[in-house]
Amino acid sequence: MSGPIVGVYGIVVMFFILFVLRVPAAFTMALVGFVGIAQVISFEAAFSIVGTEMWNIFSSYGLTVIPLFILVGEIVHYAGYNISLYDATYKWFGHFRGGLAMTTIMASAAFSAISGSNTATAATMSAVAIPAMKEYKYHPMLNAGSVAAGATLGVLIPPSIVLVVYGLYTGQSIGKLFFGNIIPSVILTVAILGTVVWICRMHPDWGPAGPRFGWKERMKALPEAIDILVLFGIIMYALFTGVVTATEAAAVSCFLGYAICLARRKLTWKKFIDSMTDTLRISCMVFMIVAGAVIFARFLTLTRLPFATAEWIQALALPKWMVLWVILLCYIIGGCIMDALAFLLVSLPIFYPLVIQLGYDPIWFGQVITIVTTMGSIMPPIGICCYVVSGISGIPLGTVFRGSFYYMPSYIVSIIILMISPYWTVLVLSDLVK
């Protein structure tokens, strides 16, 4: 048995193991990939591929950027910057109707600028924002929904783990990907904010306005928010000039992060250890997903399934944009049933060559699929952000999912805007990077 059909069987077996046996996604991909390679070539080949591939992934210089970016986020999280960010935005925008929900989203966006993962953002913001909104009698659906939707910005706004992995996988510059990401991030953030305004107009009692603060208090809340801005600015500037690699930029920001926290006396020994262990756990998880996906992708490539699929789609002779929507639909469905990063990595060998052949820009495509996959993280059944929000806040999962459902159109609108003008939304900034 050989050829593309083995690849199809492999995918079926993978879903079986994933759903029925409850083996983690990362392990399933590696396992099925391994057995698949053994089937297509031989067991000896599979053995040696697994051994060398694991080492190659673990010791990949490019991937060292992941633990470091996670560490920056954790430092900032444990130092309590999330609270000060929330406080600062609240003093500025809290007096609008639905102001706390807007505050949540803007604070999430600000926090995302230093953290690369949506679960970290979801966890942080759930702890800070949900009690605040409860106190002001916000409707639980608006409350939980805005936290979950805001958290998805964590993946999108640089530094973004998904973009890093995409960049390494496709050989695109991470600096370019991060810069190309700025405008799409703004578009999505504004779209989500717009949704809050719209919800509050439909249901005025869901989000009562908070008290208004004087300018003096507003100014006083700013300095700590500026720390974060400076840190973000340094990372982006370093990547922009190209004098440092992404890993080095991340390392410098970790170092500065610790330095700032020490200077502001925000860091205790316990927080330091916690930030470390959390980073190790999360990076280990991400690495295993990458490793599993790489082994699985090796297997798929051996079966020639990616090429067969690409040829098949081309033979359909659909218009370019329609093919793109079919691909995006696959990502939406994939994002619903599987971890976004894992699905992205498994599907890239199939879709990436196709998209490039169609003449789309790789940097632009990276932004589009990041938005699509992050949308999956608030969609049932396994929208990871909703699970985190529900787990921390105690609001029923169903309510969280229904609340976040309001935000779906903002993702679609953002993607459409990106499709209308790839140049003005992505390339205008990414082309500036050397």
Using CB under 8 A as the criterion, which residues of the chain lie in contact with another protein when the complex forms? 17-27, 30-31, 34, 47-48, 50-52, 54-55, 58-61, 63-64, 67-68, 71, 238, 243-244, 247-248, 250-252, 254-255, 276-277, 279-285, 287-289, 337-339, 342, 381-382, 384
User: What DSSP character marks residue 206?
Assistant: G
Nearer to another protein, 336 or 412 (CB): 336
Q: What angle do CA 295, 299, 303 make, to 5 degrees?
A: 165
Nearer to another protein, 68 or 418 (CB): 68
Q: Residue 373's closest CA among 145, 123, 188?
A: 188
**Cβ-contact 161, 132 below 8 angstroms:** no
Q: How many CB atoms lie within 10 A of CB 420?
A: 9
Residues 6+ apart with CB under 8 A from 63: 57, 168, 287, 290
Shortest spacing between CB 120 and another protein, in angstroms:
13
Nearer to another protein, 71 or 102 (CB): 71
Nearer to another protein, 48 or 357 (CB): 48
Nearer to another protein, 6 or 238 (CB): 238
Q: Residue 173's closest CA among 351, 326, 19, 363?
A: 363
Shortest spacing between CB 361 and another protein, in angstroms:
29
Nearer to another protein, 28 or 84 (CB): 28
Residues 6+ apart with CB under 8 A from 158: 113, 116, 177, 178, 181, 182, 185, 235, 236
Shortest spacing between CB 340 and another protein, in angstroms:
10
Nearer to another protein, 143 or 377 (CB): 377
Q: What angle do CA 342, 343, 344 make, to 5 degrees?
A: 90
Q: How many CB atoms lie within 10 A of CB 330?
A: 15
Shortest spacing between CB 287 and another protein, in angstroms:
4
Shortest spacing between CB 253 and another protein, in angstroms:
9
Shortest spacing between CB 258 and another protein, in angstroms:
8
- Tokens for 352, please give them: 């990436």
Shortest spacing between CB 63 and another protein, in angstroms:
7
| CA distances from residue 261 to 10, 47, 77, 293 in whole angstroms, order as listed | 48, 46, 11, 36
Chain centre to alpha carbon of residue 292: 19
Shortest spacing between CB 259 and another protein, in angstroms:
10
Nearer to another protein, 229 or 273 (CB): 273
**Cβ-contact 292, 338 below 8 angstroms:** no
